Chain A
Amino acid sequence: MHYVFQFNVVWDNWRILTDGAVATVEMSVAAFALGLAVAMLCAWLRGFRSFAVRGVVRCYVEIVRNTPLLVQLFIIYFSLPGLGVRMEAEDAAVLGLGLNFGGYATEILRSGVEAVPYSQIEAATALGLSRLRIFRHVILNPAIRICYPAMASQFILILLSSSIVSAISADELTSEVNTLQSTTFRPFEFYFAATAIYLALALAFRFGLDGLFWLAFERGRPRLGQGRSRRRPA
């Protein structure tokens, strides 16, 4: 092995790397917010009696979940201008990531909503609550608790998969690194550094989001399941 690693050039560009990391996080948060809004809309539409409305939601979910994110981004950024819809690469990236996450989030919300016993909805109806209030108080609140862990995992998946929006030239960490490696001819060092940054971000968010869940839902509860026998013999 004759290769000499040179990480100095990576340190010299730390400013660009941190800017890229910030852009990645901002893009992921925006996409998460968009996807969550879409998913709530879909979850609400799913309760409709109309076959057509439910069919549209089902189609959206299945198309998003059974085609690659990269191709979805291509369609939004390269195909939509043919219909007169043009946007910046960054906006296309947020839209693509958001709509992609929205499909998965719709399913996550459904599992949360289905976890609410129907008798509770009947009870709320009997108390004269409106459809919207039943949705908000009886279905949504307990659903959030059930959905939170899956949503937190999805956020980290968005963070990681956002690296492929560099393929439509949207500015974030991976595209910054692509530029840096092509001007310095140090691809391995820069991709290594970028991978380390993503790893640090993913672990930090994992830790932070798990901590938040504990603060919001678990703190002060009696600990169940303590002393349960391990499934594996010692």
Chain B
Amino acid sequence: MSRDFSWPEMLFLLGALKWTLALTGVAFLGGGAGGLIVALMRVSPRRANRVAAGCYIALFQSTPLLLQLFLAFYGLAVLLGVQLEAWPAVAFAFSLYAAAFLGDTWRGAIEAIPAEQWEAGTALALHRGRVLRLIVLPQALRIAIPPTVGFLVQLVKNTSVASIVGFVELARAGQLMVNVTFQPMIVYPVVAALYFVICFPLSEAASRLERRLDRRSV
């Protein structure tokens, strides 16, 4: 006996949307903290730091997210000796993934600050940490905001991959609702529309912010 797709099913999807947003939020916070470290290592005067951060970025940008999730899922089980729930494994993997991409984006923002700013700071007898904190990072922040918002869109969309390892978020909830309603023609377009409602405003905001930044720097 199958049901039709109506309000209870829609509410189930909306409930799952919360998990999509929660995973995005955790990944963004964890990835933001990690990304800051990666970015700072990438512009470090020590070669070893730069190489290590560069390898980290290349590794995560050159392997599929899905396999990163599988490896986190089974790798953590191997390391800890216990099978983890999907949620902590997925949150961990997405944080590492986001750290690589945000780290690379923010490195670009830091490097976009002209060398004269560093020199001026040094001439004022500030040491490296203070030049970075007081002069370079505040300016880099302005440049970093549009691509960071853009990455947020990628993150929201990519959390759907977590459904493949069994985490119930919006895409997985869609599959579950198709299983009970047998109406993929309705359910999947609705799921896509829900993602669109989240992602489109973010995309628009990102491109608007970018245009504004372009205008100011010209």
Interface residues of A (CB under 8 A from B): 1-3, 62-63, 65-72, 74-75, 78-79, 81-83, 156, 160-164, 166-167, 174, 187-188, 191-192, 194-195, 198-199, 202-203, 206, 229-234
10 closest A-B pairs (Cβ-Cβ)?
A82-B185, A163-B64, A66-B199, A68-B160, A202-B62, A78-B184, A68-B157, A191-B70, A188-B74, A160-B64
What sequence of 0s and 1s flags, for each residue 170-211 of chain B, a beta carbon within 8 Å of any chain A beta carbon?
A: 010011001000001100110110011001100100000000
In the bound assembly, the distance between CA atoms of A193 and B62 in angstroms comes to 14
| Contact B43–A71 (Cβ < 8 Å) | no
| Other-chain contact of A70, B58, B160, B184 (Cβ < 8 Å) | B160
| Contact B74–A194 (Cβ < 8 Å) | no
B52 interfacial contact with A, CB 8 Å: no
B85 interfacial contact with A, CB 8 Å: no
| Other-chain contact of B188, A79, A192, A198, A203 (Cβ < 8 Å) | A79
| Contact B115–A229 (Cβ < 8 Å) | yes
Interface residues of B (CB under 8 A from A): 43, 45, 58-59, 62-68, 70-71, 74-75, 77-79, 81, 111-115, 118-119, 122, 153, 157-158, 160-161, 163-164, 171, 174-175, 178, 184-185, 188-189, 191-192, 195-196, 199-200, 203
| Other-chain contact of B78, A1, A63, A195, A232 (Cβ < 8 Å) | A1
- Residues of A near B58 (CB, < 8 A) are 203
| Contact A71–B64 (Cβ < 8 Å) | no
A21 to chain B, nearest CB (A): 12
In the bound assembly, the distance between CA atoms of A188 and B75 in angstroms comes to 6
A162, A191, A192, A198 interface centre (most CB from chain B within 10 Å): A191
A59 to chain B, nearest CB (A): 11
| Contact A163–B66 (Cβ < 8 Å) | yes
In the bound assembly, the distance between CA atoms of A163 and B115 in angstroms comes to 42
B126 to chain A, nearest CB (A): 12
Of all chain B residues, the one with the shortest Cβ separation from A160 is: B64
| Contact A74–B75 (Cβ < 8 Å) | no
A-side binding surface: helix, strand, loop or mixed?
helix
| Contact A233–B62 (Cβ < 8 Å) | no
Contact A233 to B122, CB < 8 A, known contacts A75-B192, A79-B184: yes
Contact A1 to B79, CB < 8 A, known contacts A68-B160, A75-B188, A231-B114: yes
Other than A78-B178, A206-B62, A232-B45, give 19 A-B pairs with Cβ distance below 8 A. Answer: A62-B200, A65-B153, A65-B203, A66-B153, A66-B200, A67-B199, A74-B191, A78-B188, A79-B185, A82-B184, A160-B65, A187-B70, A188-B71, A194-B67, A195-B64, A198-B63, A198-B67, A199-B59, A232-B111
- Residues of A near B175 (CB, < 8 A) are 74
B-side binding surface: helix, strand, loop or mixed?
helix
B62 to chain A, nearest CB (A): 4
| Contact A160–B174 (Cβ < 8 Å) | no
Of all chain A residues, the one with the shortest Cβ separation from B20 is: A68
A101 to chain B, nearest CB (A): 14
| Contact A232–B161 (Cβ < 8 Å) | no
| Contact A67–B157 (Cβ < 8 Å) | yes
In the bound assembly, the distance between CA atoms of A231 and B189 in angstroms comes to 48
A67 to chain B, nearest CB (A): 4
| Contact A72–B192 (Cβ < 8 Å) | yes
10 A-B pairs in the complex with CB atoms less than 8 angstroms apart = A3-B78, A68-B171, A75-B184, A83-B185, A160-B62, A163-B67, A166-B66, A166-B164, A195-B64, A232-B43
| Contact B63–A195 (Cβ < 8 Å) | yes
- Residues of A near B161 (CB, < 8 A) are 68, 70, 164
Contact A234 to B71, CB < 8 A, known contacts A79-B188, A156-B62, A164-B161: no
Contact A231 to B66, CB < 8 A, known contacts A66-B203, A67-B157, A188-B74: no
